[in-house]
Structure 1
């Protein structure tokens, strides 16, 4: 049986740990809203860029490719941090499955990773990432990593890679979060025809007074930025959803442990008091 001092120390440690867990829960709840707002803020901007594509295709200034791709890049987004349950495992499983599907179509697939834990898991699965990116800790760090990704994608595209996918965990209404596989490239003819045929929201269609190639280049970069920024922001929101769930479970376990320790403390203290009273009574009887 543990001594009273030992039990008191364990109760104090458990109480301190409970305070840390509650703080992490609060931070996760705040971060979920923070990153989700960032992702939602892109919606209207994405609509503006889509209208730009529509104007470009209506003008007939650019013809999109229809050829078959032979190389693909698959970026799997996860976390640099722990305490988020099966978050990274689900992302890696979805990434490996997406890679198999692309390989079944005859494509040569190169894996990229975002998040140290994702890289380690891909390496363990025999899919060593060709490029790795560290996940930002704050919202302010999302734009720099996205700009780096856009630059790397442009480089690889010039080397003959036409197909790009990003796999990440996004918020899910019923399950908290679930894997999402977004195809970022190619921008093919079917996609362009759909945008060109969409009904224009206003009465007058804008005129294009710049070269089609220049407009395409600008819209292309914005398309990549929107897709990648949204994926990373939504992944970070989902990561905090996973962390909130993990901290909620940890909080319940710690509270149960603390109650058990407090019950043991009370029982041990009662036993100690009883033993002392018995000793006093035994001593009194001996004197009488």
Structure 2
């Protein structure tokens, strides 16, 4: 009985230590998500500025002619996790990547995160390259720049072919939910270009630029690509930490439930032990009384 009580006490202490670790992980997930959320909000302003530049360019030069790109080389960038403890986060994104590949055959996949690479490999997809996600929000710009450099390298391999870029990442949905999305970044959305070209120029000054139109359009597209990659990376890291926070909350509840069970079992065992000891005392007392009676009778 004493050994069982000792075992229950040891398990209780172990679970309390685990509960402390889970609470620390939950706090870190909540703290880590905030800078990425602020970065995602900040890049929206940058993205709007790039769209204003495209609007000015289109107002000055006119709408871009539609260009068919049936032979565009497809590139898919999948933003996953480099760390675990976030449930089936990477598996959901890998499934969405596989669905995007059915629509874009012969796609080249660039993967963000080692856990994401394992999920893609499990579905039979071998990434062209695997990059590590940034450890802080300051690294989002470096990641976006690295991805642009890799896209340029892929395009240089076949100069004759155009290139299309699709981003696969997890985005926030209503009521704290998350949903995967496959978002085409390049070529530019024709509906977006048409809407910008049709929007009136609400200013008393006409737009003017000194760069050659081709160079200016190339710079605008490059900045549009940077803003899209930066935003997707920031959103992916926000949702990753939110998924980890949800799993830690579930784990904390499970630990609390198990701790309650162990505490009840410990109380029950301790009560049984006390009852046994009391019975031993009573039995010993009764035995002494019987012995005293026998001695008195013999006299």
TM-score (ref. length: structure 1): 0.92
- Residue 278 of structure 2 corresponds to 277
SS of 1:167's equivalent? strand
- Residue 88 of structure 2 corresponds to 86
Per-residue deviation, 1:191: 4.0
Per-residue deviation, 1:203: 3.0
Gaps of 5+ in 1: none
State whether structure 2 residue 41 is matched by structure 1 residue 23. no
Q: How many pairs are equivalent? A: 284
Per-residue deviation, 1:261: 0.5
SS of 2:47's equivalent? helix
- Residue 149 of structure 1 corresponds to 147
Per-residue deviation, 1:213: 2.3
Distance, in Å, in 2 between the alignment partners of 1:268 and 1:205 is: 85
CA RMSD in angstroms, aligned pairs only: 1.9
Mean alpha-carbon deviation: is it higher for 268-277 or for 50-59? 50-59
Gaps of 5+ in 2: 290-299
SS of 1:3's equivalent? helix
- 1:169-188 equivalence runs, <5 A: 169-174=170-175, 176-187=177-188
C-alpha change, 1:62 and 1:153, in structure 2 (3 Å) is farther
- Asked if the contact 1:61–1:212 (Cα under 8 Å) also holds between the matched residues in 2, the reply is no
- Asked if the contact 1:64–1:189 (Cα under 8 Å) also holds between the matched residues in 2, the reply is no
Distance, in Å, in 2 between the alignment partners of 1:165 and 1:15 is: 45
CA deviation profile, 1:223-272 (whole Å, cap 9, x unmatched) = 11100010010011001111111111111110000011011111111111
Distance, in Å, in 2 between the alignment partners of 1:191 and 1:276 is: 82
- Asked if the contact 1:64–1:192 (Cα under 8 Å) also holds between the matched residues in 2, the reply is no
C-alpha change, 1:57 and 1:84, in structure 2 (3 Å) is same
SS of 2:184's equivalent? strand
C-alpha change, 1:134 and 1:183, in structure 2 (3 Å) is same
SS of 1:184's equivalent? strand
Mean alpha-carbon deviation: is it higher for 164-173 or for 10-19? 10-19
CA deviation profile, 1:87-115 (whole Å, cap 9, x unmatched) = 11111111111111223xxxx31222111
TM-score (ref. length: structure 2): 0.89
Distance, in Å, in 2 between the alignment partners of 1:166 and 1:21 is: 32
- Residue 101 of structure 1 corresponds to 103
Structure possessing the higher radius of gyration over alpha carbons: 2
Distance, in Å, in 2 between the alignment partners of 1:202 and 1:180 is: 36
Mean alpha-carbon deviation: is it higher for 229-238 or for 139-148? 139-148
